[in-house]
Amino acid sequence: MSTYKAPLDDIRFVLFDVLHADAAFQRLGFADATRDILDAVMDEGARFCETVLAPLNAVGDQAGCTLDKTSGQVTTPPGFKEAYAEYAAGGWAGLSSPEAFGGQGLPHAAGVPIKEMIDAANLSWGNFPLLSHGATEALLHHGEDWQREAFLRPLVEGRWTGTMCLTEPHCGSDLGLLKTRAEPRDDGSHAITGTKIFITAGEHDFTDNIVHLVLARLPDAPAGSKGISLFVVPKVRVDREGAMGEANAVRCGSLEHKMGIHGSATCVINFDGAQGYLVGQPHKGLMGMFTMMNSARLAVGLQGLGLSDRALQNALRYSRERLQMRALSGPRHPEKAADPIIVHPDVRRMLLTCKSLVEGGRAMAYHSALLLDEAHDADAEARAAADALLGFMTPIVKACLTEWGVECTYHALQCFGGHGYIAEHGMEQLARDARITTLYEGTTGIQALDLLGRKVIQLQGAGLKVMLGMVEAFCTEHAHDERLAPFVGPLQAKAAEWQQLTTHIARAAAGNADEIGAAAYDYLMYSGYVALAYWWARSVAAADASPHADAFKQDKRDTATFYFARILPRTLAHAAAIESGIASLPELDEA
């Protein structure tokens, strides 16, 4: 079975030594978010994840969720419900929610380590509270006062959970095609009718109500994506005073049989004239969804990060225990029957690939979470810059950290050899669970189009400019630092190339919009690798400037060296693909 230990040392290094998040929180007005409080929250979060959630990870995979077709009730795996009760009682559901609605009022970036730990400990379980956050944000920013009191407070307090009901059988990426209908009723509510699929945590036994946020069409809706409205549709009816009434016409029709995340309930939800209330303006529902997308996409990126870290931890342990063959340069441990496989350079290559992607990825992801908070900065210029950079980085964090999650769980399993393929070691579960993350909340291809089509081309590279400015400032600051020379020079060269490739694509796209699609994936991955090079260079500088032990500093330096030598060159292949353009993507028979 795979084990999990929360990487608190590296989490603190990223938050406090690299990002100086404690100072940022004070500047942003989060008076309670002191270093002491944050440390205590993380210690307690780590305990909960290590001792309560992690032991349930294999249980969830084996038992899965079950649906009683007669009652439409879903039973979650043994222990899941009790773990949720502890989570809600601990106030975790509202960690980053406003105190006015019962939350803890901590910054987003303070909640991110907890999210990473939950995902690493038990991704399937973590998916139950995950979408509450999206529902919370939708109601907070777009709901009426009574909706906030009636629905938001129980979500923040963890008494209910939330879902996001977007996908239908015939429409996933293309929400403009959706068919679910909303008919106005005399009492101001709407009757919602339609079938939604892939609804994470759509039904469960954790709480006595579930708040569905549902996209549907009003009778007078224009066709396409401009005719979609957002509704709040509870599982059990709720009146305008927040009192629960009878069951609503909302029913789980079936559970999907999936490759992984067996402990998560992925539901078909049928709405059969269910009572719902319009949230925000008619026909503007998609805009409401977009506002919560940044945090939801960052959250899925964190899932990739958490799974990668857990996979790496287990691969490191196994590579130290497993004795097999001698080092080619001569026995390292002659007293043993063979050397531990960690001595073999190729095993180190796999481990260091994971290590460099996990630790660098953590800095990148946590920084983006901090941007979520900085997007509410009092200073308008700082706010605009943070918002632009957040929009630019969100698809990169989501897509790269999940693609790397698939890669890291692959390498970690590979370190186990044939044993990795056997269920009892738990590595294959991590690989199966990781596989969902590049699909849901927008596939990698969708993230790539968001990045290149919207954030770069449409918004004229505002976010990229902020990013390149940050890189340039760092390089200038350390231009004469010999210890950073191995990183600053290559980083500067890559930043210049990044700009050139962007200009190249923008020119090509002006002539043929399909050039955007032809470059999008490679541009996304290229951007992720260059961004990670920046975060690695900054991590080395931060470690050197920190009070950490020399071994810690050397470890950061070694991992950065590996990253620059062996991972960053992947940008060469991506750049070549970008430059080849649409001409190298011949059309295929369409019928």
User: Whole-number minimum distance, CB 565 to its own copies, in Å?
Assistant: 4
Asked if residue 35 lies in contact with residue 22, where contact means CB atoms within 8 angstroms, the answer is: yes
Residue labelled with tokens 């999990």: 4
Among 217, 344, 494, 538, binds its own copies (CB under 8 A): 344
489 binds its own copies per the rule CB under 8 A? no
Q: Which of residues 22-61 bind its own copies (CB under 8 A)?
A: none
Pairwise CA distance, residues 142 & 140, whole Å: 6
Catalytic pick from 137, 407, 441, 515?
441
Q: What is the b/e burial string over 265-276, where b = at least 16 CB atoms within 10 angstroms of the residue's CB?
A: bbbbbbbeebbb
Tell me whether residue 23 or residue 485 sits nearer to its own copies (CB atom): 485
Pairwise CA distance, residues 56 & 36, whole Å: 30
Pairwise CA distance, residues 560 & 336, whole Å: 32
Among 263, 420, 461, 528, binds its own copies (CB under 8 A): 420
Give the H/E segment covering residue 234: strand 229-234
Tell me whether residue 78 or residue 417 sits nearer to its own copies (CB atom): 417
User: Whole-number minimum distance, CB 224 to its own copies, in Å?
Assistant: 10
Among 8, 171, 382, 470, binds its own copies (CB under 8 A): 171
518 binds its own copies per the rule CB under 8 A? yes
Residue labelled with tokens 């260079």: 537
Q: Which of residues 562-591 bind its own copies (CB under 8 A)?
A: 562, 565-566, 569-570, 572-573, 576-577, 580, 582-591
Pairwise CA distance, residues 453 & 459, whole Å: 9
User: Whole-number minimum distance, CB 168 to its own copies, in Å?
Assistant: 12
Pairwise CA distance, residues 440 & 436, whole Å: 6
Pairwise CA distance, residues 400 & 412, whole Å: 18
Pairwise CA distance, residues 225 & 526, whole Å: 30
Q: Which of residues 111-170 bind its own copies (CB under 8 A)?
A: 167, 170
Applying CB under 8 A, which part among 72-80, 182-190, 306-314, 559-567 lies near its own copies? Answer: 559-567
Here the tokens at position 373 are 């908070």
Q: Which of residues 249-278 bind its own copies (CB under 8 A)?
A: 256-260
User: Whole-number minimum distance, CB 39 to its own copies, in Å?
Assistant: 26
Tell me whether residue 257 or residue 480 sits nearer to its own copies (CB atom): 257
Among 78, 222, 245, 417, binds its own copies (CB under 8 A): 417
181 binds its own copies per the rule CB under 8 A? no
Pairwise CA distance, residues 467 & 475, whole Å: 12
User: Whole-number minimum distance, CB 7 to its own copies, in Å?
Assistant: 15
373 binds its own copies per the rule CB under 8 A? no
Q: Which of residues 496-515 bind its own copies (CB under 8 A)?
A: 512-514
Asked if residue 530 lies in contact with residue 571, where contact means CB atoms within 8 angstroms, the answer is: yes
Pairwise CA distance, residues 444 & 523, whole Å: 12
354 binds its own copies per the rule CB under 8 A? no
Here the tokens at position 97 are 């929610």
Q: Which of residues 444-483 bind its own copies (CB under 8 A)?
A: 444-445, 448-449, 453
Neighbours of 321 (CB within 10 A): 10
Is 99 known to be catalytic? no
Tell me whether residue 144 or residue 497 sits nearer to its own copies (CB atom): 497
Tell me whether residue 47 or residue 349 sits nearer to its own copies (CB atom): 349
Helix residue ranges per DSSP H, 143-227: 145-147, 153-156
Tell me whether residue 168 or residue 377 sits nearer to its own copies (CB atom): 168
426 binds its own copies per the rule CB under 8 A? no
Pairwise CA distance, residues 264 & 260, whole Å: 9
Which residues are registered as beta bridge partners of 193?
181, 272
Applying CB under 8 A, which part among 142-150, 270-278, 436-444, 539-547 lies near its own copies? Answer: 436-444
Count of all residues that appear for the chain in the document: 591
360 binds its own copies per the rule CB under 8 A? no
Asked if residue 104 lies in contact with residue 88, where contact means CB atoms within 8 angstroms, the answer is: no
User: Whole-number minimum distance, CB 14 to its own copies, in Å?
Assistant: 20
Here the tokens at position 239 are 């009146």
Applying CB under 8 A, which part among 29-37, 148-156, 323-331, 471-479 lies near its own copies? Answer: 323-331
Q: Are strands 190-200 and 181-184 parallel, antiparallel or unpaired?
A: antiparallel
User: Whole-number minimum distance, CB 398 to its own copies, in Å?
Assistant: 15
Among 337, 378, 380, 549, binds its own copies (CB under 8 A): 337
Pairwise CA distance, residues 198 & 261, whole Å: 12
Asked if residue 86 lies in contact with residue 153, where contact means CB atoms within 8 angstroms, the answer is: no
184 binds its own copies per the rule CB under 8 A? no
> Residue 39 to residues 46, 59, 110, 547: CA-CA distances in angstroms?
10, 30, 10, 17
Q: Which of residues 216-255 bind its own copies (CB under 8 A)?
A: none
Dihedral sign computed on CA atoms, order 508, 509, 513, 517: positive
Q: Which of residues 188-217 bind its own copies (CB under 8 A)?
A: 198
User: Whole-number minimum distance, CB 405 to its own copies, in Å?
Assistant: 12
User: Whole-number minimum distance, CB 491 to its own copies, in Å?
Assistant: 16
Number of residues interacting with its own copies: please give it, by CB under 8 A. 97
**Which one, of 529, 363, 375, 389, lies nearest residue 456 by Cα?**
389
Among 136, 147, 438, 502, binds its own copies (CB under 8 A): 438
Tell me whether residue 248 or residue 438 sits nearer to its own copies (CB atom): 438
How far apart are the two ends of the chain, measured CA to CA in Å?
47
Site string for its own copies, 289-318 (x = CB under 8 A): ---------------------------x--
| Catalytically active residues, by annotation | 441
